[in-house]
Amino acid sequence: MTEIYINGKLYKVSLPEDTPLLWVIREHIGLTGTKFGCGKGICGACTVLLEEEPIRSCITPLKAVKGRRIITIEGIPADHPVKRAWVELNVPQCGYCQPGQIVEAYALLKKNPRASREEIVRTMSSHLCRCGTYPRILRAILRAQGMMGVKT
Amino acid sequence: MIDRRDFIKLTGLSLALVLTEGGFKIIKAVQEEIINPVLWANITRDNHLVLLVNKSEMGQGVWTGLAMLVADELDFPWERVRVRSAPAGPQYIDRKLGMQLTGGSTSVRNMYDFLRQLGATMREMLINYASEEWKVPKEKLKAQGGYVFGNGKKASYGELWEGAVKLPIPHKVKLKDSSEFIYIGKNIPRIDAREKVDGSAIFGIDVRLKDVVYAVVERPPAFGCKLKGFDPSRAKQVEGVIDVFAISTGVAVCGKDFYSAQKGRESLKVEWTESPIKDFNDQKLARYYLNALNRAGAVARHDGNPEDVISKAKVKVESVYLLPYLYHATMEPMSCVADVRKDKCVVYAPIQSQTWALKTVSRITGLDEKDIEIYTTYLGGGFGRKANVEFVREAVEISKKLGRPVKLIYTREDDVKSGWYRPMNATKFVGALDEKGRVVAIHHKIAVPAVFEWAGMFSKIDRAAVEGIENMPYSVPNLHVEFVKIDLPIPVWFWRSVGSSHNAFTLETFIDRLAKAGGRDPVELRLELLSKNPRARRVVEVCAEKSGWGKGSHRGRAMGLAYHFSFGSHVAQCAEVSLDKKTGKIRVRKVVCVIDLGPTVVHPDLVVSQMESAIVMGLSASLKERVSFSEGGPQSLNFDTYPLLTMEETPQIEVHIVKGQGPMGGVGEPGLPPIAPAVANALLWGYGIEVNQLPMTPDYIKTLI
């Protein structure tokens, strides 16, 4: 039995400890907002927070998060400025990469609410979006900063 | 976990008053002239409009655009509109395409009249019923904002709908005048945004059935290989592995979850027959395609006497291009859930082509189409790839063999190995100018696989191979267009903008080379060539104006412009580009895009989104993408070797919509073709570089400096 906290809830799973966290979350816990994209930690679709740090859950084995706190897309409040800005600007197209993008943006603003445009672009460039929503993602993060009352 | 009934509830069918679970099965296909609203839409008692849309939402915003048409005519509050995916079935065929398919940038164009008619019919039905119930003449009743009222009475559409559907369906109802539109032409919220932001949107890979078995398929390392044999013994010993067996495309490994199936696969030993193209690598492919240009092909167009004019011309320009295989790289790899039983089959999949899926499933299971239910989930990207239903076939084969519900998941590597690429191609252009620098002849020949033939639609001249060239809007008196078919066992398919994705690059860069050779400004030359096409001229003019074309220095950046007509829309794009000559690295700083899709623009911001999307994808392909080959198989198996454009590399994008007269054009694809040639043209004028190959990687560009 491995214990993990996901979005504040304790889960006990009985799985090989090398099982990637992504599949634990998706198939065994049943939260499918976190996506599978590349399996190599490149595209960012599987991004979740470990404590406050964004990690790639597709290359993170279960044993590495034993007893620790994970936040997924479902665990970010619906009224959080990042999520609100995303909806207001019609950011998602196919939507598949967006949970990972949102988790990354949420973590960035939590750590550094005043992140500059350059920092935002640098951080978000670790995520791939085939629909090309990058211009809107950038605008949404800037807008979220505005909602949070942050002057950049 | 959800079972099938829950899924149907989630997709809204159980909310329907007439359509209950399986109910659509007993309703006969809709008559040509009569709209049967209950097949397409229902209003719940608590006043929600539930639409069954026959087009797949893959990011292009089609559910928003189509729902707007119904809600506008019905006069219904937008926040109470719900869209669900129509199941696969003859009643949901797009009559203009002759099948249930999302492709060719046709959805809004093809469904526009029908869905407005649907909304208007429903509104009329509600008024008719209220009039009968309340004994109030129709003229005294109004239907607005989800309520019918008049003569002191008021009821929601939802309260009236159950009665309204029992009355005869009115024919030929009056549609709104465009001045009365409440949504059409306005930027209202995307209907799928919230679900896609909170993580609840259900994609193919997210469908969860009880007792489902997870499957992966080990595929051949090269194209054209057949299964020779395999040893499942070690794989079967892996904990969680349920079964290992051969299917038509490889060896399926089934497990209790994805990870055990995947681990089982790693312990699997498979032997394949030799690939008929085992000696094909990038160099060999290049030679093969270029050599094919020496073969005689099928002539798609021949005006005047181009050979003669070219042989006598003083100024001749010749270019040979070689463009790569491209991978769709949908962020959601192929994935399908199938449950094959003796007497029925249920499939959930992210597909663009429900009709083809239905036929395929029927063929594999031997079941009648009426015993097959196919539900389309959200698509995590499509770009044409998910119109190919081989992955559905695989899931159905596996479920049939196991006798259990199966979820097939492609890894990224499986996705690349499965093929179905945008075809590689070689093109030769020869052009001739007169003494004034006017284009008097163009001779074109392309060697390319036949995409439509791969899709089962054979023709002597493949429609994709010459699209955008054969029907070019430029007036050239002597013109030759020729197609040499490439036959290799590398599967090719529709990739966003299809033939235009390569033909716009070759034609538009060639036009600039002609301009340069004739000492002409490329915009001015285009306008001359487009003298008979005012809509095309206009987008080129507006693009030149908005980008400041010819207005001197642009912060030291080079500028290039390209124009292309595809899928009914005219698009011009101007790229501001800088090149680091030391590294060969290109930066595209800004793109100005102008589109004319006709007089009606249903949702301007969705058009802007699609232009942004197509520019980013087109730029990604032209700067970075190529499926690399070795020993007859793909080597670029994941994003480390098949990189996509990132936010850092994305230019500022400015989109302008011009409303020309004529039929409505498409939006999903036409924004892609012009970007690659616009960038290459900037390199020609700014740096004297002729780009004959894509992608424009730093290594390649350095060889040209």
Which DSSP string do the residues of B155-204 spell out, in sequence order? Answer: EEHHHHHHHHTTSPPP-SPPPPPGGG-SSTTS-PPPTTHHHHHHT---BG
Position B643 pLDDT exceeds 50: yes
B267-302 burial: b if 16+ Cβ within 10 Å, else e: bbebebeebebbebbbeebeebbeebbeeebeebee
Min Cα–Cα distance to chain A from B275, Å: 27
Query: To which H or E segment does residue B243 belong?
Result: strand B241-247
Are B675 and B622 a contacting pair, CB within 8 Å? yes
pLDDT at B340: 98
Tell me if ipTM is over 0.90: yes
CB contact set of B421 (below 8 Å; sequence gap of 6+): B325, B326, B327, B328, B490, B491, B492, B493, B495, B627
Report residue A122: phi and psi, to 5°.
-60, -45
3-state secondary structure B304-323: CCHHHHHHHCCEEEEEEEEE
pLDDT at B19: 30
Mean pLDDT of all residues in A5-20: 97
Three-state DSSP class for B49?
A: strand
The residue of B1, B186, B196 whose CB has the most chain A CBs within 10 angstroms, and thus the best one to mutate to test that interface, is B196
Binned at pLDDT 50, 70 and 90, residue B31 comes out as very low
Contact between A125 and B644 using a beta-carbon 8 Å cutoff: no
Min Cα–Cα distance to chain B from A151, Å: 22
Residues in chain A closer than 8 A to B639 (CB atoms) = 38, 40, 42-43, 128
Contact between A97 and B615 using a beta-carbon 8 Å cutoff: no
Residue appearing with tokens 């005006």: B303
Binned at pLDDT 50, 70 and 90, residue B36 comes out as confident
Mean pLDDT of all residues in B555-579: 96
The residue of B620, B647, B649, B667 whose CB has the most chain A CBs within 10 angstroms, and thus the best one to mutate to test that interface, is B647
Contact between B380 and A35 using a beta-carbon 8 Å cutoff: yes
Give the separation between CA B399 and CA B254, rounded to whole angstroms.
Answer: 10
Count of CB atoms situated within 10 Å of the CB of B118: 24
Residues in chain B closer than 8 A to A102 (CB atoms) = 197
B114 touches chain A (CB under 8 A): no
Position B554 pLDDT exceeds 90: no
pLDDT at B27: 33
pLDDT at B546: 97
pLDDT at B3: 37
The number of helices, as runs of H, and strands, as runs of E, in chain A is 5, 5
What percent of chain B stands above pLDDT 70? 95
pLDDT digit string, tens, across residues B343-362: 999 999 999 999 999 999 99
Angle value at C-alpha B475, between B472 and B477, nearest 5 degrees: 115
Q: B639: nearest CA in chain A?
A: A42
B406 touches chain A (CB under 8 A): no
Contact between B331 and A96 using a beta-carbon 8 Å cutoff: yes
B316 touches chain A (CB under 8 A): no
Position B2 pLDDT exceeds 50: no
Three-state DSSP class for B338?
A: strand
The residue of B2, B6, B197 whose CB has the most chain A CBs within 10 angstroms, and thus the best one to mutate to test that interface, is B197
Binned at pLDDT 50, 70 and 90, residue B18 comes out as very low
Mean pLDDT of all residues in B506-527: 98
pLDDT digit string, tens, across residues B156-213: 999 999 999 999 898 889 999 999 999 999 999 999 999 999 999 999 999 999 999 9
Count of CB atoms situated within 10 Å of the CB of A133: 29
Position B30 pLDDT exceeds 60: no
Give the separation between CA B80 and CA B63, rounded to whole angstroms.
Answer: 14
Size of interface A-B (CB pairs under 8 A): 172
Three-state DSSP class for B691?
A: coil
- Is the previous residue joined to A16 through a cis bond, with omega within 30 degrees of 0? no
pTM, entire model: 0.95
Contact between A32 and B199 using a beta-carbon 8 Å cutoff: yes
pLDDT at A150: 83
Strands in B315-323's sheet, in edge-to-edge order, are B298-303, B478-485, B439-448, B425-433, B315-323
Contact between A138 and B638 using a beta-carbon 8 Å cutoff: no
Three-state DSSP class for A25?
A: helix
Position B463 pLDDT exceeds 50: yes
Q: A89: nearest CA in chain B?
A: B189
Residues in chain A closer than 8 A to B264 (CB atoms) = none
Residues in chain B closer than 8 A to A124 (CB atoms) = 647
A144 touches chain B (CB under 8 A): no
pLDDT at B495: 98
Q: B57: nearest CA in chain A?
A: A94
Min Cα–Cα distance to chain B from A150, Å: 22
The number of helices, as runs of H, and strands, as runs of E, in chain B is 21, 26
Q: B654: nearest CA in chain A?
A: A135
| Pick from B575, B526, B530, B571: nearest CA to B684 | B575
Residues 51-70 of A with CB under 8 A from B: none
Residues in chain B closer than 8 A to A36 (CB atoms) = 205, 333, 409
pLDDT digit string, tens, across residues A22-80: 999 999 999 999 999 999 999 999 999 999 999 999 999 999 999 999 999 999 999 99
Contact between B59 and A131 using a beta-carbon 8 Å cutoff: yes
What percent of chain B stands above pLDDT 90? 93
Binned at pLDDT 50, 70 and 90, residue B553 comes out as low
A20 touches chain B (CB under 8 A): yes
Residues in chain A closer than 8 A to B650 (CB atoms) = 132, 134-135
B211 touches chain A (CB under 8 A): no
Residues in chain B closer than 8 A to A132 (CB atoms) = 612-617, 620, 645, 650
Within 13 Å of residue B14, how many CA atoms lie on the same side as its CB?
Answer: 8
Position B1 pLDDT exceeds 50: no
Q: Which residue in the set A19, A34, A97 is minimally distant from B259, CB to CB? A: A19
Contact between B199 and A90 using a beta-carbon 8 Å cutoff: no
Mean pLDDT of all residues in B661-675: 98
B216 touches chain A (CB under 8 A): no
Position B26 pLDDT exceeds 70: no
Contact between A36 and B333 using a beta-carbon 8 Å cutoff: yes
Taking CA atoms, A60 is separated from A24, A32, A70, B474, in Å, by 11, 17, 12, 55
